[in-house]
């Protein structure tokens, strides 16, 4: 079987193919009570670049030579009285490998009514992250003005739709007309701002003249600062990610408009979805119900073949993915 391991750390530079090594080895033996999982899908998260860098310290460090850590969907192909029978589709931290042995710890069964790749996007880390950030911190209510950056991404698109479902007016910021069209026409956002087309501040002022009640930020940098310039009194700023950081060599500038948090009596808060694992199962049920009712749209951008996993990760940072970036093995 094949695995991709970490060969180098992409510190201060984009992810490269040479950061990984393809390793061949024997398929692992299955002990009593264990299962052999065959990985069918991998999903990619911006946080994976941070794990490769050992940035942040909120998960165990990755060492050079470790199988690349990542979420996946796998099929139980052998079960020696394991937790689930053969044929069960499960999701969890499979890593970038064709096979692994597990007793099921940290894995969940895939939702039977949705395609398996949905478990990596709308029901996966992105959907869970959107829910925890939006409902746990942002708390939008009817009439709130909500702005989501990185809105066409797997997390941002769910975050914005959850705010819309809660009765808010939702503006998405994304790069390029195609993504903006998808946000408004497919995902039901009230408006979209193409940050590549010009002045985000000016467009925010036009779309949110009374200010922004909830910011859901996936980007950081200038976009975050432009949003902070226009917060309303009592605003909640959900810090979810800072994808602009990943393209910078060193430190990015902090948000100079942070002082509006004082003047507008507002709050800026971060979170890590891994802290909320005990809630994941209940949140997944809610998200699945919304998807099945046609209220929550999602899309997946599908690559093929384990050897293309580095490319799949890199696509997150150049903005070329359309929806959740996944890979079919």
The residues of the shown chain that bind a second copy, judged by CB under 8 A, are 56-58, 220, 225, 239-242, 245, 251-272, 275
Listed residue (70, 38, 36) closest to 52, CA to CA? 70
DSSP for 64-76 reads: TTSBPP--EEEEE
Residue 325 β-bridge partners: 301
| Helix (H) / strand (E) containing 328 | strand 324-328
Q: Which is nearer to a second copy, 17 or 267 (CB)?
A: 267
Q: How far is the CB of 252 from a second copy (least distance, A)?
A: 7
Listed residue (231, 316, 290, 318) closest to 111, CA to CA? 290
Q: Which is nearer to a second copy, 12 or 305 (CB)?
A: 12
Q: How far is the CB of 46 from a second copy (least distance, A)?
A: 12
Q: Which is nearer to a second copy, 187 or 266 (CB)?
A: 266
Q: How far is the CB of 251 from a second copy (least distance, A)?
A: 5
Measured distance between the N- and C-terminal CA atoms of the chain, rounded to whole angstroms: 12
Q: Which is nearer to a second copy, 187 or 227 (CB)?
A: 227
Q: How far is the CB of 168 from a second copy (least distance, A)?
A: 21
**Number of CB atoms found within 10 A of residue 324's CB:** 28
Q: How far is the CB of 275 from a second copy (least distance, A)?
A: 6
Measured between alpha carbons, how far is 60 from 145 in angstroms, rounded to an integer?
38
Listed residue (295, 321, 269, 319) closest to 120, CA to CA? 321
Q: Which is nearer to a second copy, 110 or 200 (CB)?
A: 200
Q: Which is nearer to a second copy, 260 or 321 (CB)?
A: 260
In this structure, what DSSP letter does residue 240 have? -
Q: Please report how the helices 154-165 and 125-133 are oriented relative to each other, as an axis angle in degrees rounded to 10.
A: 40
Residue 6 β-bridge partners: 20
Vertex 310 angle, CA 309 and 315, to 5°: 95
The answer to whether residues 243 and 229 touch, using CB atoms and an 8 Å cutoff, is: no
Q: How far is the CB of 137 from a second copy (least distance, A)?
A: 8
Q: Which is nearer to a second copy, 140 or 312 (CB)?
A: 140
Q: How far is the CB of 52 from a second copy (least distance, A)?
A: 16
Q: How far is the CB of 167 from a second copy (least distance, A)?
A: 24
Q: Which is nearer to a second copy, 101 or 229 (CB)?
A: 229
Measured between alpha carbons, how far is 3 from 147 in angstroms, rounded to an integer?
40
């Amino acid at each position: 079987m094949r695995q991709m391991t970490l060969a180098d750390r992409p510190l201060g530079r984009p992810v490269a193919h040479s950061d990984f090594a393809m390793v061949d080895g024997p398929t692992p033996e299955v002990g009593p009570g264990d299962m052999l999982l065959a990985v069918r899908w991998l999903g990619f998260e911006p946080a994976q670049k941070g794990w490769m860098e050992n940035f942040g310290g909120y998960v165990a460090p990755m060492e050079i030579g470790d199988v690349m850590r990542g979420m996946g969907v796998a099929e139980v192909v052998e079960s020696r009285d394991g937790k689930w029978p053969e044929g069960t589709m499960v999701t969890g931290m499979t890593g970038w490998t064709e096979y692994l042995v597990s007793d099921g710890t940290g894995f969940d069964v895939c939702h039977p009514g949705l395609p398996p790749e949905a478990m990596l996007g709308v029901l996966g880390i992105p959907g869970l992250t959107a829910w925890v950030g939006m409902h746990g911190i942002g708390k939008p209510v009817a009439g709130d003005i909500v702005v989501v950056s990185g809105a066409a991404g797997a997390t941002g698109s769910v975050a914005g739709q959850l705010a819309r479902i809660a009765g808010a007016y939702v503006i998405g910021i994304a790069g390029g007309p195609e993504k903006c069209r998808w946000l408004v026409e497919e995902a039901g956002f009230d408006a979209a701002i193409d940050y590549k087309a010009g002045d985000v501040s000016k467009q925010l002022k036009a779309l949110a003249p009374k200010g922004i009640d909830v910011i859901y930020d996936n980007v950081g940098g200038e976009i975050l600062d432009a949003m902070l310039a226009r917060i309303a009194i009592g605003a909640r700023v959900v810090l979810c990610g800072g994808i602009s950081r990943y393209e910078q060599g060193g430190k990015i500038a902090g948000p100079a408009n942070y002082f509006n948090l004082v003047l507008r009596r507002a709050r800026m808060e971060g979170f890590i979805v891994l802290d909320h694992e005990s809630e994941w199962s209940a949140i997944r049920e809610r998200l699945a119900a919304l998807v099945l009712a046609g209220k929550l749209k999602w899309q997946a951008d599908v690559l093929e073949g384990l050897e293309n996993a580095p490319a799949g990760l890199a696509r997150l940072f150049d903005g070329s993915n359309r929806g959740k970036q996944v890979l079919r093995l």
